Amino acid sequence: MKKIALLFLLLNVSFLFAQKEVSGVVKDNTGAGLPGVNILEKGTNNGVSTNIDGAYKIKVQDGATLIFSYIGFNKVEKAANAATINVVLSEEGGQALDEIVIVGSRTAPRSNTTSALPIDVVSSKDLASTGQATFDKALQYKIPSFNTVQTPVNDATSLLDPYEIRNMGPSRTLILINGKRKNMSSLVYTQTSPGRGETGADISAIPTDAIERVEILRDGASAQYGSDAIAGVMNIILKKSTNGGSVTVRTGITGQGDGEMYGISMNNGTKVGEKGFLNYTVDFSKTALANRPGTLNATDEFNYWRSGSNTPAQDASLQTQITNFLKLKPDGGNINGSPETAAAKFEVNGGTQLSENTELYYNAAYIFKKVNSYANYRTPYWRTETDYPYLSSLFGNGTAGSYQGYAPTFIGDLNDYNATLGFKSNKNGWTTDASVTIGGNSQIYTVSNSHNRSKYSDLNPEQLSAVGGIGSHSATDLVYADDSKTRYTGQNTFKPGGTSFNHIVGNLDITKEISDNVSIGFGSEIRTENFEILEGDFQSYAGVGADSFQGNTPANSGKFNRYNLGFYADISANIVKGWLVNGTARHENYSDFGSANVWKISTSVKALEDDKLTFRGSVSTGFRAPSLHQIYTEKSQSTFQGGAIAITGIVNNVSTTARDYGVPKLTPEKSTNISVGFGAKPIKNLNVTVDYYRIGVKDRIVLGNLVAFEAGRVSSDPASADYNEYEGKNSKAFFVNGINSITSGIDYVVEYRNINLGTGKLGFNLSGNYTIENKIDGAVKNPTSVQNLGTTAAPIYAGQTALTSGQNPVLAGQTVFNATQDALMFTSRPKFKTILGANYEIGKWGLSLNNTTFGSTKFKQADFSNAGLYSQFKTAQVTDLGVTFSATKAVTISFNMNNIFNVLPKFTIKSDGSASADAIVNNPTLLKKEWNNITFDGRYPVTSYDGSQFSQLGRLFSLSMNYRF
């Protein structure tokens, strides 16, 4: 405790120098206060930002000069020669903040309104106004081209929800912290959810109170930054304020009274010496489970679970079991919603002026997050005592009738960290920026309230030897010597392992303004990456492993690494007045697959003076290297398919099994991006931008559909060669460069602010994304074994325990990219998304109203009995209300009601017009059967098993109080 007190004391020490305090208000030329204006003591890193009313307070040295800067406004310098300095900023000729250059170009700064590229800037105030609990969910309701989806019951996917820009998946958006690459998560999404087969950074872990603003470049940027920037770049700028801080206490709950959220955060800053600063954020939060299960019907449940071979007595017994169970648990015991989450987040940002020309900067973050989610409830007629006689002892009290099923829990412990140390110097017009960044993410899993339901016949020879063989066990302990029986260990908590990823990145960036019209830049990046699959405990993976989530086996575990080196050159030139052209070229070399060369050309033309109309466009090539996760992941898992849970496998891309299937080694994705648009300021306070984009991706990496073995072609004997080769699983999935794709659309933003209404100010904003195309381009690139199905295969004859040369165990008529894969990647995304909002500020009050419209989505599940069927989520509008009250100069209270009309996702099953599909849709009995298949017999009535375009939780309430000191 003493150490903690000493740490906070050191963080808040202001060194004793001759200082004075300056305060004031910054307004625009209409008289409205400007929140978020940067105020910097010239020649130092000492700075603050204005509050919601435009007020500021800063301590400076005698004789100091203050610099006032704000995006889209003129920069103003004022001598700090008075205790009160009020400033008015003008919009005409406004300059962008220096950091804007990070996402737009590598050369001299250009304002976002006149840049050649579309850049969104979201302030910390904008993020807070959404009332959303996490950073990623706040972006969902501020940026139309940004989408994130929370899916029900999907194991490790519950630790961080998939996100994307322009429907391109999480792995094609590069995340930067203060302009430096953030580490990826160690999780690769393997379930049937959006983002399947990909990985991305955990942006939900970033504390919102640490963020000054977010810059989002909606354009390919591989030439500037290398891999992962096909869809765009998100640059998160951390706060620099040094004078005072704030504490925010927040709470929230859903309209159904669950999902309670509590949180507290503190942001504070202090000067370090004469010319340094340190800003830090501490954030703690906890969110309870929110559950949205369905209500099951006994008749449907009976039809779902009964076997066609049942005798009348078995049918009667099953009916009785179901009826009695649903009296106890009408929802089937299923837990379907958002998981219980606890998080602790720490962020530090600092720097100091070492000399007149040299600056030291640094930032660091550490996040711990624990997520507790649930697998599907195992009912007593799904996991039966007939099959597993020990269940009443493990999940009951040992007496007859005490066993009523169980719900395995999935607990994830996530650690994420990143840190940057760099130097920036400016000498003789040359700006040099050298830095080192480290970052990592680890996820350790625990499965509890479960069991290993393997039979001895499910164990391979090594596992069987490890347990002492069959003959060493006795039936007296409910461990069966008969290898056709299950083996009971008494263990109900398992450690299935986890994953870990880390990187080290070195950057050198050099820029110079050659003249008033020409700037150049060049630099390099070296990066090492390490990925580790952590082995689980023996019982978590032995045989079929822990029920709901099998652990990582020793064979599937290991450490993998690579390095890459990149070089780039950039030039920006004003060809004539008002015409800017920028060009970038990059060479990248990876240790595991070779090199890539990419380029980008962008331009902007000012058609009218005073930035009233600017045309812009860009053409670029890009690439995305296959991640280590995609190359080396190999595992078994439980998935929902065909209306049931199945054990399936994912094959390591460099394994002999992959080669036997004709799966080639992964190669980089290659992209071509085209963007054309304009920005306009037709009248004062009105800004308009419209941008068309087209992204073509070749050799897009997908985690393919499960490829099934043909019955009888692979031996079921664990001692046989082909069993060990194919691990006795019913089906396999591979990471493959499986498709080419085309994505095109239009982004638009209209903002009209500072409208006088009474004594207050009114503002409107309209922004949207409309998808023109999002589809596969050409044929699926199936591995050779799938392409040649049925042509080289031969059955395994009696007495044959292994495949002979040339035999193909794959079942005919399959593809690695089926209807479900197509839906996950393309049609399950909203056709459009529009955000229409209004805000009004008067006196101490602020009011905001936002309407987010999510376009329809289609999901053509492969599990439908007819290929002409698909599910469609209807277009829906979610309305959010926010109210703020500045009770005093130091205290602000905020209330948000999100989704005030309690709008829920709603889907229907439709026909493509074929006669056979129409017959099902028009037959209530057949249609109900199809509905049961995709909702797990009604367990997922709102979103189906595959998720929807927005949350199923409905109305949310949140309340926060911010105290500034």
DSSP for 616-682, please give it: EEEEEEEEEPPPHHHHH--EEEEEEETTEEEEEEEE-TTSHHHHHTTPPPP--EEEEEEEEEEEE--
Q: Give the best-scoring range by mean pLDDT among 32-36, 115-119, 303-307, 326-330.
A: 326-330
Interacting residues of 308 by C-beta distance below 8 A, sequence separation 6+: none
Residue 807 scores a pLDDT above 80: no
Interacting residues of 801 by C-beta distance below 8 A, sequence separation 6+: 715, 717, 719, 720, 721, 722
The confidence score (pLDDT) of residue 788 equals 56
Of 16-30, 289-303, 388-402, the least confident:
16-30
Asked if 943 and 935 count as a contact pair (C-beta separation under 8 A), the reply is no
Strand order, beta sheet including 19-28: 55-61, 19-28, 87-89
Q: Where in the chain is the domain with CATH 2.40.170.20?
A: 99-296+331-452+489-964
Confidence band (pLDDT; 50, 70, 90) for 114? low
Instruction: Give the CATH number of domain 99-296+331-452+489-964; options: 2.40.420.20, 1.10.150.120, 2.40.170.20, 3.60.15.10.
Output: 2.40.170.20
Q: Where in the chain is the domain with CATH 2.60.40.1120?
A: 2-93
Q: Where are the beta strands (DSSP E) in 704-808?
A: 707-708, 731-757, 760-776
For 631-643, write each residue's pLDDT tens digit: 999 886 544 444 4
Classify residue 574 as exposed, middle or buried by CB count within 10 Å of its CB (0-12, 13-18, 19+). middle
For 848-900, write each residue's pLDDT tens digit: 999 999 999 998 887 788 989 999 999 999 999 999 999 999 999 999 999 99
Separation between Cα atoms, residue 120 and residue 144, nearest integer Å? 11
Instruction: Tell me which of 155 and 386 has the higher pLDDT.
Output: 386
The confidence score (pLDDT) of residue 486 equals 57
Asked if 144 and 833 count as a contact pair (C-beta separation under 8 A), the reply is yes
Predicted model pTM: 0.86
CA atoms within 13 A on the CB side of 347: 25
Percent of the chain at pLDDT above 70?
85
Separation between Cα atoms, residue 766 and residue 773, nearest integer Å? 22
Which architecture characterizes domain 2-93 according to CATH? Sandwich (2.60)
Residue 799 scores a pLDDT above 90: no
Q: Which helix (H) or strand (E) holds 917?
A: helix 915-921
The confidence score (pLDDT) of residue 157 equals 75
Q: Which helix (H) or strand (E) holds 467?
A: none
Percent of the chain at pLDDT above 90?
57
Separation between Cα atoms, residue 20 and residue 83, nearest integer Å? 8
The confidence score (pLDDT) of residue 638 equals 47
| Token pair 């004062």 in the structure block, residue | 684
- Residue 960 CA, chain-centre distance (Å), reads 25
Separation between Cα atoms, residue 638 and residue 381, nearest integer Å? 19
Residue 88 scores a pLDDT above 70: yes
Residue 19 scores a pLDDT above 80: no
- What are the Cα distances from residue 768, in Å, to 177, 221, 306, 690, 854? 26, 22, 48, 10, 10
3-state secondary structure of 632: helix
**In the numeric block, which tokens belong to residue 661?**
């299937």
The confidence score (pLDDT) of residue 787 equals 62
Average pLDDT value over all residues in the chain = 85
| Token pair 């996950």 in the structure block, residue | 824
Confidence band (pLDDT; 50, 70, 90) for 30? low
13: DSSP letter: -
Largest pairwise CA distance in the chain:
97
Cβ atoms < 10 Å from Cβ of 349: 25
Over residues 414-438, the mean pLDDT reads 95
Q: Which helix (H) or strand (E) holds 721?
A: helix 721-726
Q: Annotate 93-128 with b (16+ C-beta within 10 A) or e (fewer).
A: ebbbbebbbbbbbbbbbbbbbbbbbbbbbbbbebbb
The confidence score (pLDDT) of residue 48 equals 84
Closest CA to 184 of 209, 210, 205: 205
